[in-house]
Chain A
Amino acid sequence: MPPAEGADVPPTPNSNPNIPPITKSAITAMRHPPPESKESLRLRRYVILSFWAVAIFIGLPIWWKTTAIYRAELPLQIMTDWADGKICRPVFPLRISVEAPTLQLQDAHNLIRATQHALDDLNEFSAHHLRLMLADAPLSAANASQQVVISGGPGDRSDDEDIALSIRLIPIETGTAPRSILQPYAPTLDVYYSPNQIPPPSSTGSPLATFIAHELHKIFAEEQTLLAHLLSTTSNVYTAKMKSLSSETVTELERQSTRTLKYAPTYHLTFSLFSPTFMPSSWEIEAALQQYLSPLLETFSSISNFTVDTQVQLYATFSPSIRQPEYDENLKAWTLRKEDLSGFINAAEWPLSPSIGVSPTVNFILYVPDQSQSPLLVKESGANSWLVPQWGGVLILNPAVTGQSPMTLTKDALTPAMHTFSEQLLSLLGLPQSPASLPLRLSTLKRVRAASLLFSASSTLGALARLTKALKSIPIPDNVAKSVDTAIAHLQQSCSDLRDGRFQGALENARIAETAAEKAFFEKSMVGQVYFPDEHKVAVYLPLLGPVAVPLIMAGMKELKSLRGR
């Protein structure tokens, strides 16, 4: 209704906003309701109050109870402490028994004291220390397994298994002395000395003692480096105390640790024969494994078990992503470029799926190239085998004589492959390179594995604790708490085992702790309901709570206002 331009609108009473006409007429017609009795006011208040009471004291708790997420109690502080390394400081006290059947008891004690002194001077790594003990009876190494040694502390008896190394002192009349020989298949160091090198009781140092100390230090040098590196990388508490490692050593250790498989109580080994054609279609793998691999696997049985399976796969082609082999005139061979080695395994086509079961699978691939592309080598190094970190090893087996490649690979033809595979397996399992004695290397591996399991279980617990704190909405079932308790108990056990030098027990406990910690962390029911969208809650609650809450709140506010106004 647009008013005409300049038209005069007659003033109406309504146009005056200051005096609304309604008020005027209302005042004249007003009739007051009868005053409310005190009784009814109180009654109304009670009604409102009781509604609110029901909502707050019954409704809210029921809602809270029915929608609450169950979270079992976790010892969060202890878990964090474990992860920070505040509870357990792994130490590696190694017992070394000294057999000196020809020496006087007094002389032997003197020698041991002197050697121990020299050893302690040499050692820079306090967590790992060697303790010499005198073997009580002069027994030969052959039946040393029944031997019980008495160490310095009274009543401190332990099994032979905890003796890391025994030193046999053998007097000789001729030849250079002192000299030492480390037994390759027994944890025994033979030290040859001439009788005049026995230190006199009064003196503190002697060339023989220094010699033995240096030898021992040399033997355990790599283990110390490994452990020092492990401790420094996994927990920051130790960093300050560590002896400084050179950067090359660190890089080398890093490289080794990246290629090493994660520790497992059982490994599946899969040996596969791949060929791009139909030849060879069979191999005498059973006999070859029996001869070359079984003895090796048996020696590892105290650390891990192994299952072995084999397969033959024909018509296995390279993946199209890598460059096909090229002929190299200088090498007189077909060559693969080094950067293509990572794509050599045609994961899409070659059936190398992991074996069934929880244990990890280690793959060993024997690739027999086509007649037309033989011999096949790696271009840069001319090598024919390489290791795939944390996965397995590959070997290209070029037929010895160029000509008709056989339908069957004999055991002899497999010998070089088996040697390479054994070395690759040792490397994948993380066996240290030195010392020369295999039992010593195995026991070193045992200690390193125990320590690394200890750290990984602790850090898993720490991660679980952080997760629990960070995500308030995830449920924590009781079995997680149970697993955490198991893990902590076994970590404790493992730590004390380490302190007492029971390394086998430490490894076993650390293994159980690790499994329990992983089980707790990867509990399925914890991830299920992490995400419950808020929109969903609104959609469910609002239609009911909105219409019910509005009259309740309005009535409550009105009553409060009237209370305040009085």
Chain B
Amino acid sequence: MLSFLALLLFNAFIASASASSDYSEHLLLRPLPQKALLASFNFRSNESSTAFEQQNFRYFPRSLGQILQHAGTKELHLRFSLGRWDAENWGQRPWNGAREGGTGVELWAWVEAQNEEEAFARWLTLTNALSGLFCASLNFIDATKTIRPVMSFPPEGDHQNPSQLHLLHGTLPHEVVCTENLTPFLKLLPCKGKAGISSLLDGHKLFDASWQTMAVDVRPVCEEDGECTLETEQTVDMVLDIDRSKRPRDNPIPRPLPIEEIECDTSKGYSAQDTCYPIHKTSEPAFSLSGIYGRSLKGACPLTDESSENSYTVCINTPPERIIHVNTTGQYAESTSENHAMRCYKLPVGADFDLVLPEQQMTTRLVLAQPPLYAARHINGHGQEHGSVQAVITNPSSTDAVEFVYLESLPWFMKPYIHTLQARVNSSPENPIRETYYRPAVDRQRGTHLELRMVIPAASTLTLTYDFEKAILRYTEYPPDANRGFDAAPAIIRLISPESLDKKGIYLRTTSLLLPLPTPDFSMPYNVIILTSTVIALGFGNIFNLLVRRFVGADEVQGMGPGGLKGIIRGKVERLKARFLTKKKTA
């Protein structure tokens, strides 16, 4: 429980501290089981709404600000994610899942507009502009990939006129997040990855992580007295495999160590000198910041408030017995909290900073907080026509029931049969579905939007299943890699009770689904043209010849000998033979 409390306090501490200053950044490191390391980067900046309207941008990036103004967007949430959060081993998600997205790209925004058409037009403007800004295929979020969630996303910011705001949500599960998305992300920061914790972020390591998510959140925050600011929050969360990250850039391929360097299990019997049973190590691995990120932390970003608690930028959450060496030439400060489980450092300005953790056999372990729910989803069935989806959601708590909203946004070519929708809880025969919102798909115009409010009693498992039919696409609708399959966006689960402490909410997402659709042979059109042409030509030729030819007896044909066709051919062959032979003779 130690670290869970720590995390909660850490989040609350960030939230309270950031309100006072205009820019702040934080990095939380937490070693996880199985040699993984969670790193949570958080950058937060404020811009007063008057300066924003007058387009005087200081900490707010001008490019993003103009896009938001042009598209009438009041609140924006953009996510780039990769990999899967292993909840069984890693426990509770960072930020309670409120700052992560489904695999690929996810975008939702509150757009100000008079009516739905205008809102959608502005949404398209927004996606197109963001697509250019972040070098992502966001412009492919069209009507078929856009839904308007009803229960899943309450506004995070304080809005003046909520009645004119429209929530739109779009996903691109197929999008591969990569370095080209990180570069514009870093450019939005005031310190641009040149100083502060953002100097650690490197595309090679970030996208090599077991799980990573980048988020951009813009929301208006209003004080009691009506003073409003626009808060931009950029977060990067990742789980690094320490051994994998420590591989040097110039030698990234794992190679077997020479046998002398491997620690062998001597308790086992050996038949030869060159064999070795490696010891399964129980100690915590050694790592340093510069080692796992491949670059050094270039001191503090000087824009953060120097005096407040906020200036303790880098925090590491380990048991107190873990030895941590600080490696820097500059002035730094250290503070501890949560029974020494959380150690925070104030970075020096203009000098490199490094944390070095040696390999250590630990006696105590952090107790990782238990996630409120576990969720998994997969496709069942076989064949090219039908299939079914099964989602398994488990409530690990032995005391509390959990109420949540389950949101599915399915592509139009995956057509669910809603009459087959079944939800069962293993502990009680009662139907767990409390409320259903369903908007069926229209072919090539919009996708399925399904929202379910459900309750899981304590210590039980909910199984949700429904069947679906696979549509057959038109020839031009297939992507170039049609045989890979089509991605269906992850389901999004928002917890209603237990309620979240802040406005961000508690979320979790399943993985995306890979849906194989029947794919045609893509040389088909030419084959069809040639086949039908041949058939038509055959038919035409026959009828035409029947009509215009004159039919006579075989022996009546001029030039045709008594042998008929055979005779002609024989005669020709003989003539050829004769010519050939005479030629030979003259030679």
Indicate whether A26 sits within 8 Å of B559 (C-beta atoms), given known contacts A9-B585, A309-B55, A551-B544: yes
Q: Contact: A15 with B191, CB < 8 Å?
A: no
Chain A residues contacting B61 (CB-CB under 8 Å) are 311, 351
Interfacial residues of chain A within 259-276, with CB under 8 A of chain B in the complex: 270
Q: Contact: A22 with B567, CB < 8 Å?
A: yes
Chain B residues contacting A355 (CB-CB under 8 Å) are 66
Q: Contact: A31 with B578, CB < 8 Å?
A: no
The one of A17, A47, A307 in contact with B579, judged by C-beta atoms closer than 8 angstroms, is: A17
Q: Contact: B67 with A282, CB < 8 Å?
A: no
The one of A33, A279, A547 in contact with B540, judged by C-beta atoms closer than 8 angstroms, is: A547
The one of A31, A270, A314, A551 in contact with B191, judged by C-beta atoms closer than 8 angstroms, is: A314
Q: Contact: A356 with B129, CB < 8 Å?
A: yes
Does B155 touch A at the CB level, under 8 Å? no
CB-CB nearest in chain A for B568: A22
Cα of A355 to Cα of B530 in the assembled complex, Å: 52
Q: Contact: A29 with B562, CB < 8 Å?
A: yes
Q: Mark A256-296, 1 if CB is under 8 A from B, else 0.
A: 00000000000000100000001101100110000000000
The one of B58, B194, B529 in contact with A312, judged by C-beta atoms closer than 8 angstroms, is: B58
Q: Contact: B541 with A547, CB < 8 Å?
A: yes
B residues contacting the other copy or chain, number (CB 8 A): 60
Q: Mark A1-32, 1 if CB is under 8 A from B, else 0.
A: 01100000100101101001010011001111
Nearest CB of chain B from residue A427's CB, rounded to whole Å: 24
Does A515 touch B at the CB level, under 8 Å? no
Does B444 touch A at the CB level, under 8 Å? no
Does A68 touch B at the CB level, under 8 Å? no
Does A403 touch B at the CB level, under 8 Å? no
Does B445 touch A at the CB level, under 8 Å? no
Cα of A552 to Cα of B544 in the assembled complex, Å: 8
Q: Contact: B192 with A314, CB < 8 Å?
A: yes
Cα of A308 to Cα of B585 in the assembled complex, Å: 100
Indicate whether A15 sits within 8 Å of B578 (C-beta atoms), given known contacts A309-B56, A310-B56, A356-B66: yes
Chain A residues contacting B529 (CB-CB under 8 Å) are 539-540, 543-544
Q: Contact: A309 with B571, CB < 8 Å?
A: no
Q: Contact: A3 with B562, CB < 8 Å?
A: no
CB-CB nearest in chain A for B551: A33
Q: Mark A529-566, 1 if CB is under 8 A from B, else 0.
A: 00000000001100110111001100100000000000
Does B282 touch A at the CB level, under 8 Å? no
Q: Mark B196-225, 1 if CB is under 8 A from A, else 0.
A: 000000000000000000000000000000
Q: Contact: B578 with A14, CB < 8 Å?
A: yes
| Interface size grouping (class) on chain A | 35 or more
Q: Mark B544-570, 1 if CB is under 8 A from A, else 0.
A: 110110101101111111100001000
Does B360 touch A at the CB level, under 8 Å? no
Indicate whether A551 sits within 8 Å of B541 (C-beta atoms), given known contacts A17-B579, A351-B63: yes
Nearest CB of chain B from residue A26's CB, rounded to whole Å: 5
Does B54 touch A at the CB level, under 8 Å? yes
Does B582 touch A at the CB level, under 8 Å? yes
The one of B70, B194, B552, B557 in contact with A357, judged by C-beta atoms closer than 8 angstroms, is: B70
Indicate whether A14 sits within 8 Å of B537 (C-beta atoms), given known contacts A308-B55, A353-B63: no
Q: Contact: B547 with A31, CB < 8 Å?
A: no
Q: Mark A44-58, 1 if CB is under 8 A from B, else 0.
A: 100110010000000
Does A36 touch B at the CB level, under 8 Å? yes
Chain B residues contacting A17 (CB-CB under 8 Å) are 575, 578-579, 582
Cα of A555 to Cα of B548 in the assembled complex, Å: 8
Indicate whether A32 sits within 8 Å of B556 (C-beta atoms), given known contacts A310-B56, A310-B57, A314-B190: yes
Chain B residues contacting A40 (CB-CB under 8 Å) are 550
Nearest CB of chain A from residue B258's CB, rounded to whole Å: 40
Nearest CB of chain A from residue B296's CB, rounded to whole Å: 16
Chain A residues contacting B540 (CB-CB under 8 Å) are 547-548, 551
Cα of A33 to Cα of B560 in the assembled complex, Å: 12
Interfacial residues of chain A within 291-328, with CB under 8 A of chain B in the complex: 307-315, 317
Q: Contact: B547 with A47, CB < 8 Å?
A: yes
Q: Contact: B561 with A22, CB < 8 Å?
A: yes
Cα of A355 to Cα of B69 in the assembled complex, Å: 11
Q: Contact: B545 with A547, CB < 8 Å?
A: no
23 A–B contacts from the bound complex (CB under 8 Å):
A3-B585, A14-B575, A25-B561, A26-B562, A29-B561, A33-B552, A33-B556, A285-B56, A309-B56, A310-B56, A311-B61, A312-B57, A312-B58, A315-B192, A317-B194, A351-B63, A543-B533, A544-B532, A544-B533, A546-B537, A547-B533, A548-B541, A551-B544
- Additional A-B contacts beyond A33-B557, A44-B547, A308-B55 (11; CB < 8 A): A17-B578, A20-B571, A47-B547, A47-B548, A286-B51, A311-B57, A314-B192, A349-B187, A357-B70, A547-B537, A552-B544
